[in-house]
Amino acid sequence: MAETADVVVVGAGVVGCSVAYYLSVLGARVKLLEREAIGSGASAHATGSLSLLGAEFSPGPSFEFALTAYREFPELVQRLEESTGMDLLYQRRPSLRLALDEDEEYLIKDLMSWQQTHVAMKWIDQQNVHEIEPRLTQNVRGAVYEDESAQLDSYRLNLSLAQAAEKLECPLQLREVTGLLTRGSRVVGVDTATGEVSCDTVVIAAGTWSPRLGEFLDFSIPVTHLKGERLMLRYGGAPLPVLISSPKRGHMISRLDGLLSVGSTGGRDYDQEDLFRGEDFDRQPTEAAKIELLQRAIDVFPDLEEAELVHHLAGSRPLSPDRMPIIGPVPGWDGVVLATGHSTKGIHLGPLTGRVVAEYIHSGRCQVPSLMEAFLPQRFAALAGADFHASGRLVEE
Ligand SMILES: Cc1cc2nc3c(=O)[nH]c(=O)nc-3n(C[C@H](O)[C@H](O)[C@H](O)COP(=O)(O)OP(=O)(O)OC[C@H]3O[C@@H](n4cnc5c(N)ncnc54)[C@H](O)[C@@H]3O)c2cc1C
């Protein structure tokens, strides 16, 4: 007899596991299908920074979604930790977005002009920066200080979502989805190497691999890979009291396990050809990135000359043409929902994506939740060929 489920979720990254978790909370019969391992895509490689600063969010729905997502984290983390017994290494800290040159100061102040209408932040000068963290470079011109930011371990978040969903009777199966089953304009299930699964709804949360499933729908899912590398260092000094970032030099975060994360490489580091390096998800750490990241870190925090390199991570982000997620039904089809293209913010936005997708499916897919409206796939329906160059090169983190 054919296997059945209410919903099949394709992909067990943070986005797919969030969808599966929230659907299970609502009582749906869900199957979560993953071709390799939990977090084997971008999600296990991410810094886990939950920050509203930076150029990633724009005024309007993008920022509103990010703010709501940020505010839901403390309760979600508590629920996941209670359910699984895992420590997600979640830390709530103020952040400093540093300017080391004139361009950075201009960019940061420009963003601040609209960001400060939503969250409290202020520009502080070099002296104030050094009062907070005297070990930062003397070349710092100033920074935006923001009281609201956080960071957690993205892999632990991924694992705990999967485990909490499993406790709610949502099985994770290591099976690659090889096709979509359709009847007329309705998706009625998925095909896998080990048989078909019939269902009412398929959620495509396959990160950078999502476009392959779009081929079965004749809908071009505009997502490509944007490589990112970062380093974890062991440093003997006291942990940084704030989360640090700068537009050109990336982040520097003391994690709760004692390691210091620095990175990441992104669009700003690649020329036009290299941006799309590799045909597929690229998890190969490179010597060039290591040297570049260490140099940037030492520029900001000279004491790191003495730090020891513990891990070097590399993964590819699922980049969309406007760097915003693609969430909602596929135009012309019933029974299939996209949850992909989260670009540089899939850890921050993944859980809220899971909640709104679950509520949408649970409501009978009658009404698109208002939070989802700006991210619907139909915004790309008329796109002849996606141009990722501009969106990729704007990526800072
Ligand atoms: C270096 C780096 C730093 C980052 N830092 C941050 C950060 O600080 N904050 C933040 O919010 N975001 C960050 N990101 C971005 C974030 O990692 C991604 O946006 C997010 O992980 C995307 O999650 P996902 O679930 O959509 O995709 P993925 O995690 O890639 O998961 C997709 C899953 O689908 C599976 N799959 C694919 N095809 C199939 C199939 N046919 N059948 C079954 N399974 C399939 C894959 O195996 C994979 O496990 C960072 C990324 C990188 C690389």
The CATH number assigned to the domain holding 283 equals 3.30.9.10
pLDDT band of residue 395 (cuts 50, 70, 90) is low
Q: Are residues 136 and 244 in the same domain?
A: yes
Mean pLDDT, the chain, integer: 93
| Residue 196 lies inside a defined structural domain of this protein | yes
Q: Are residues 22 and 120 in the same domain?
A: no
| Residue 14 lies inside a defined structural domain of this protein | yes
Q: Which of 303, 319, 335 is the last residue of a domain?
A: 319
| Residue 160 lies inside a defined structural domain of this protein | yes
pLDDT given at position 271: 60
pLDDT given at position 366: 83
Q: Are residues 129 and 228 in the same domain?
A: yes
Q: Are residues 329 and 262 in the same domain?
A: no
| Residue 241 lies inside a defined structural domain of this protein | yes
What is the length of the chain? 397
- For the segment 369-387, what is each residue's pLDDT rounded down to a tens digit? 899 999 999 999 877 777 7
pLDDT higher than threshold 90 for residue 96:
yes
Q: Is 89 in the pocket of ligand 1 (CB under 6 A)?
A: no
- For the segment 49-72, what is each residue's pLDDT rounded down to a tens digit? 999 888 889 999 999 999 999 999
Atom of ligand 1 nearest to the CA of 264: 1
What is the extent of the structural domain holding 28?
3-46+156-222+322-393
Q: Are residues 117 and 230 in the same domain?
A: yes
Q: What is the arithmetic mean of pLDDT over 72-88?
A: 98
Q: Is 12 in the pocket of ligand 1 (CB under 6 A)?
A: yes
pLDDT given at position 1: 65
- For the segment 315-326, what is each residue's pLDDT rounded down to a tens digit? 999 999 999 999
User: Cα(210) to centroid of ligand 1, in Å?
Assistant: 11
Q: Is 211 in the pocket of ligand 1 (CB under 6 A)?
A: no
User: Cα(265) to centroid of ligand 1, in Å?
Assistant: 16
Q: Are residues 350 and 300 in the same domain?
A: no
Q: Are residues 336 and 383 in the same domain?
A: yes
Beta strands in 205-356 (DSSP E): 224-234, 243-246, 250-254, 260-263, 308-319, 326-329, 336-340
| Residue 65 lies inside a defined structural domain of this protein | no
The CATH number assigned to the domain holding 170 equals 3.50.50.60
At residue 100's C-alpha, the angle toward residues 98 and 106, to 5°, is 80
pLDDT band of residue 181 (cuts 50, 70, 90) is very high
| Residue 86 lies inside a defined structural domain of this protein | no
Residue entry with tokens 């705990």: 160
Q: Is 5 in the pocket of ligand 1 (CB under 6 A)?
A: no
pLDDT given at position 289: 92
pLDDT higher than threshold 60 for residue 201:
yes
Q: Which of 127-141, 164-178, 220-234, 265-279 has the lowest mean pLDDT?
A: 265-279
Domain count, the chain: 2
pLDDT higher than threshold 80 for residue 396:
no
Q: Are residues 340 and 369 in the same domain?
A: yes
Q: What sections of 215-302 are H helices per DSSP?
A: 287-300
Q: Is 209 in the pocket of ligand 1 (CB under 6 A)?
A: yes
User: Cα(371) to centroid of ligand 1, in Å?
Assistant: 21
User: Cα(308) to centroid of ligand 1, in Å?
Assistant: 27
User: Cα(12) to centroid of ligand 1, in Å?
Assistant: 9
Q: Are residues 388 and 242 in the same domain?
A: no
| Residue 128 lies inside a defined structural domain of this protein | yes
Q: Is 48 in the pocket of ligand 1 (CB under 6 A)?
A: yes
Q: Is 329 in the pocket of ligand 1 (CB under 6 A)?
A: no
| Residue 69 lies inside a defined structural domain of this protein | no
- For the segment 18-40, what is each residue's pLDDT rounded down to a tens digit? 999 999 999 999 999 999 999 99
User: Cα(18) to centroid of ligand 1, in Å?
Assistant: 12
Q: Tell me whether residue 184 is exposed, middle or buried, using C-beta atoms within 10 angstroms of its C-beta: 0 to 12, 13 to 18, 19 or more.
A: exposed
Percent of the chain with pLDDT over 70: 94
pLDDT band of residue 393 (cuts 50, 70, 90) is low
Q: What is the dihedral of CA 45, 48, 54, 58, to 10 degrees?
A: 90
Q: Which of 266, 287, 319 is the last residue of a domain?
A: 319
Q: Which of 319, 345, 371 is the last residue of a domain?
A: 319
Q: Are residues 234 and 282 in the same domain?
A: yes
Q: Are residues 175 and 284 in the same domain?
A: no
Q: Are residues 41 and 127 in the same domain?
A: no
pLDDT band of residue 279 (cuts 50, 70, 90) is low
pLDDT given at position 159: 98
Q: What is the arithmetic mean of pLDDT over 339-346?
A: 96
